[in-house]
Amino acid sequence: MLRAFSSRNFSLFYTGQAISLIGTSMTQVATSWLVYRLTDSALLLGVVGFVSQIPTLLLIPLGGIIADRTNRHRILLVAQILGMLRSLALTWLALSGTINVWYITFLGVLLGMINAFDIPTRQAFLPQTVGKENLGNAFALYSSLVSVTSMVGPAIAGLLIVAWGSGLCFLLDSISYIAVIVALLAIITTDKNVISIRQPLEELKTSFNYAIGFLPIRSILIGSSLVCCVWGFYLALGPIFAKDILQGESNTFGFLMTASSLGTLAGGIYLTRHQNVHGLGTILALGIGFMGMSLIVFALSRVFWLSFISLLAAGFGFILQIIAGRTLLQLLVSDENRGQITGIYVMASTGAVPLGNLIAGALASRIGVVNTVILGASICITGSGIFMQQISTFRNLVRLNLNANNS
């Protein structure tokens, strides 16, 4: 289960991210709760989530190209420093009492621009910290880490918001950036600039055509887009479920976020033991359907314990699809276009979250939050059924591609 830790670089990368991601998840919860407290509007809650992530969606192809042409290690360092400065600005506004929804939106847009370069670079850099034979294990461990930090961070944030407000969460997030910056400085890498004879737009077009034309990668992109879009429904409307349906406070929302993160942790641990690459396609499809069924239960629940359990199950299904898709993607692409294909994947998955935020806010204002989540979950179940019909072809193409790469 821990074989990827035999790599010093992976251990350093993992440790730095462990601390930093706790702060990031605290800020996510604190920001959502603060926006809803300031506006009391489901529509604005969705709009803020959408607008703050639009730069990631638009700029991430450029981020992928730069990740393939520039030193990835250096890009990550610059991105983390900029992220820390942005978090410090949010802290100052919150603690000084001058915060409003427009400042939050502006700083969210700034973070989206930083993430457009940070996210594809980070995912393309991860394989450089560990051998190819342990790549699947490294992604499962990293995804488990994200789950743990997403579980711990919201729980802490919920308690801190009640006692001292959102500002303290933002301050702790600013401090947590130091850990990942120190870890990156300690990593020894042989990453060099990649010289390409093709123009950036030509490279992007070639990578995009390959991603869309090859069934396994196309299936990964569609599946990730679907689950992330519907997951965006829950992220945008979670404060409303916690406050209006379950009659709770900010700590209720924090514990609901913890439940989903606990489910993703369980899924990550399960996949650290999974070594059959050819079976990942089935896991990918089943994860989509399981998440959909669990979210329907969550939408219909009116008691905290059932909501907690259903979100735990939804998180389990969500992470099965995400880890399986990421692992297959990294095994199917070459290092020369890893950043670009990863950028397209992140554009499809991460970009689907703000789209889900916007759709959720618009639908919830018309058909209600419960019906909105049920609708999204039903689409997931339908998508899972369609994908299962193609699983045999998917598996054969993956086997042929992996055999060709190994030879």
pLDDT grade for 80, boundaries at 50, 70 and 90 = very high
From CA 83, how far away is CA 85, in angstroms rounded? Answer: 5
Share of the chain residues as helix, strand and coil, in percent rounded to the nearest 5: 90, 0, 10
| pLDDT computed for residue 334 by the predictor | 67
| pLDDT computed for residue 136 by the predictor | 67
pLDDT tens sequence across 357-396 = 778 888 888 888 889 989 989 999 998 888 888 777 777 7
Question: Is the pLDDT score of 336 beyond 70?
Answer: no
What is the secondary structure of 32-87 as a DSSP string?
HHHHHHHH--HHHHHHHHHHHHHHHHHHHHHHHHHHHHS-HHHHHHHHHHHHHHHH
Q: For the residues 96-111, what does the mean pLDDT come to?
A: 88
CB 154 within 8 A of CB 29: yes
| pLDDT computed for residue 189 by the predictor | 73
Question: Is the pLDDT score of 175 beyond 80?
Answer: yes
| pLDDT computed for residue 194 by the predictor | 52
pLDDT grade for 174, boundaries at 50, 70 and 90 = very high
Nearest alpha carbon to residue 229 among 321, 112, 143, 316: 321
pLDDT tens sequence across 241-288 = 888 888 887 678 778 877 887 887 788 778 776 656 667 778 888 888
Question: Is the pLDDT score of 148 beyond 80?
Answer: no
Which distant-in-sequence residues (6+ apart) come within 8 Å of 162 by Cβ? Answer: 249, 250, 251
Runs of H (alpha helix) within 214-303: 215-240, 250-272, 280-300
Question: Is the pLDDT score of 192 beyond 60?
Answer: no
CB 23 within 8 A of CB 153: yes
Question: Is the pLDDT score of 152 beyond 60?
Answer: yes
From CA 388, how far away is CA 282, in angstroms rounded? Answer: 7
pLDDT grade for 78, boundaries at 50, 70 and 90 = very high
Question: Is the pLDDT score of 85 beyond 90?
Answer: yes
| pLDDT computed for residue 68 by the predictor | 74
Q: Between 178 and 65, where is the model more confident?
A: 178
Q: Between 86 and 392, where is the model more confident?
A: 86
Start-to-end CA distance of the chain, whole Å, equals 27
Q: Between 195 and 177, where is the model more confident?
A: 177
In percent, the amount of the chain with pLDDT more than 70 equals 89
From CA 223, how far away is CA 271, in angstroms rounded? Answer: 18
Q: Between 337 and 347, where is the model more confident?
A: 347
| pLDDT computed for residue 83 by the predictor | 92
In percent, the amount of the chain with pLDDT more than 90 equals 15
From CA 383, how far away is CA 28, in angstroms rounded? Answer: 28
Average pLDDT for the chain: 81
CA 169 to chain centre: 20
Amino acid at 335: D
Q: Between 44 and 405, where is the model more confident?
A: 44
Q: What angle do CA 322, 208, 324 make, to 5 degrees?
A: 15
| pLDDT computed for residue 293 by the predictor | 94
Which distant-in-sequence residues (6+ apart) come within 8 Å of 376 by Cβ? Answer: 229, 230, 233, 292, 295, 356, 360
| pLDDT computed for residue 214 by the predictor | 77
Nearest alpha carbon to residue 294 among 259, 255, 268: 259
pLDDT grade for 36, boundaries at 50, 70 and 90 = confident
| Assigned CATH class of 3-189+198-406 | mainly alpha
Q: For the residues 322-334, what does the mean pLDDT come to?
A: 77
Q: For the residues 60-78, what does the mean pLDDT come to?
A: 83
| pLDDT computed for residue 79 by the predictor | 93
Dmax (CA) of the chain: 62
Q: For the residues 125-151, what does the mean pLDDT come to?
A: 73
DSSP assignment letter at 130 = S
Q: For the residues 52-60, what does the mean pLDDT come to?
A: 80
Domain boundaries of the chain, sorted by first residue: 3-189+198-406
Which distant-in-sequence residues (6+ apart) come within 8 Å of 327 by Cβ? Answer: 135, 136, 139, 140, 277, 280
| pLDDT computed for residue 405 by the predictor | 58
CB 151 within 8 A of CB 261: yes
Residue 163: how many CB atoms within 10 A of its CB? 9
DSSP assignment letter at 389 = T
Question: Is the pLDDT score of 315 beyond 80?
Answer: yes
| pLDDT computed for residue 228 by the predictor | 87
